């Protein structure tokens, strides 16, 4: 909203669409590849649940961790959360950098960064 309100329309719309496309591509790759590498897990329960009277707990819930399974492509709740968080962080980082660079003069940026980095020396 800030870039649309503060910057010229022809610049801000093209720039915003470019950032959204980049973040969407990264989000889709994260969604599809987050669970591509499986971690070997050692089961905590015995192989035969009947030994401890646990047969009633074998499938007592309707919760599904895997949302979509297409062979090697597997979409889980974890990959959806990771992709959404990655998309939001990347969009916020790139968009805030673009707004900072387009609204602040190079001299002011240089002065601010040199002051910030030289504080420990003085």
Mind listing the pLDDT tens digit for each residue in 105-115?
A: 888 888 887 88
Mean pLDDT of 89-98: 89
- Whole-angstrom CA distances from 21 to 9, 25, 58 are 18, 6, 43
More confident residue, 29 or 72: 29
Tell me the C-alpha distance between 63 and 114, whole Å.
53
Tell me the C-alpha distance between 82 and 87, whole Å.
8
Contact 86, 34 (CB under 8 A): no
Tell me the C-alpha distance between 84 and 75, whole Å.
13
């Amino acid at each position: 909203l800030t870039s649309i309100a503060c910057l010229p329309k022809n610049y801000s719309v093209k720039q915003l669409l470019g950032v959204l496309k980049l973040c969407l591509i990264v989000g889709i790759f994260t969604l599809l590849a987050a669970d591509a590498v499986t971690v070997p897990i050692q089961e905590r329960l015995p192989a035969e649940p009947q030994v401890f009277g646990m047969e009633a707990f074998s499938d007592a819930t309707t919760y599904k961790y895997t949302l979509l399974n297409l062979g090697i492509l597997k979409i889980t709740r974890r990959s959806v959360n990771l992709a959404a968080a990655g998309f939001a962080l990347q969009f916020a980082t790139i968009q805030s950098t673009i707004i900072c660079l387009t609204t602040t003069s190079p001299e002011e940026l240089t002065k601010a960064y040199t002051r910030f980095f030289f504080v420990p020396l003085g």
